[in-house]
Amino acid sequence: MSSKKIIAISFLCAAFGFVAFAPNGSAAQTKKPAAGDASRGKELFSTCSQCHSATTKDAGVGPGLKGLFKGKKMPATNRPVSTAVVTSQIKKGGNGMPGFASKYSAQDISDLVAYLKTL
Ligand code: HEC
């Protein structure tokens, strides 16, 4: 192979690599942290629904979560209701509830919280 051809091929590879890489790079930079997706949260809630009702306030193993964010106090502990408190409850659990910090990503938990806000 002549050195001219090698230079031409390297140039093409570099140009192609740039085109292939650039859109990904810029997409990653402009991507905002996604807000909670309630419909995804609803699917994830299947893990919670073995202990919590989403349609009533009646207690199962844990308190019913209907209207959670419409109330002022957390149903079991009476802490003030907030995204931070509910997020921490999901991560840490406590008093009979397992923590989900190792099972769910931050995105999963924000999806779950978005779903709980619709109840
Ligand atoms: C194995 C049963 C179990 C599972 C699974 C479970 N919980 Fe709980 N949860 C409980 C119990 C028991 C309590 C009451 C804790 C207490 O008395 O402090 C509770 C309490 C809560 C509370 C109210 C906390 C408070 O401060 O009043 C929220 C909100 C909650 N859970 C959300 C969830 C979510 C969301 C999931 C799914 C990711 C989940 N739980 C999974 C058993 C469970």
Query: How far is the centre of ligand 1, averaged over its atoms, from the C-alpha of 103 (Å)?
Result: 15
Atom 13 of ligand 1, residue of closest alpha carbon: 62
Q: Please state, in angstroms and rounded to a whole number, the distance separating the CA atoms of residues 92 and 99.
A: 4
Pocket test for ligand 1, best of 52, 65, 109 (most atoms within 8 A of CB): 52
The chain-wide mean pLDDT, for the chain, equals 84
Closest of 70, 110, 73, 65 to residue 88, by C-alpha: 110
In the chain, what percentage of residues exceed pLDDT 90? 71
pLDDT exceeds 60 at position 71: yes
Atom 6 of ligand 1, residue of closest alpha carbon: 48
- pLDDT-derived band at 35 (thresholds 50, 70, 90) equals confident
Token readout for 10 is 């390297």
- pLDDT-derived band at 9 (thresholds 50, 70, 90) equals very low
Helix (H, G, I), strand (E, B) or coil at 30: helix
Query: How far is the centre of ligand 1, averaged over its atoms, from the C-alpha of 92 (Å)?
Result: 10
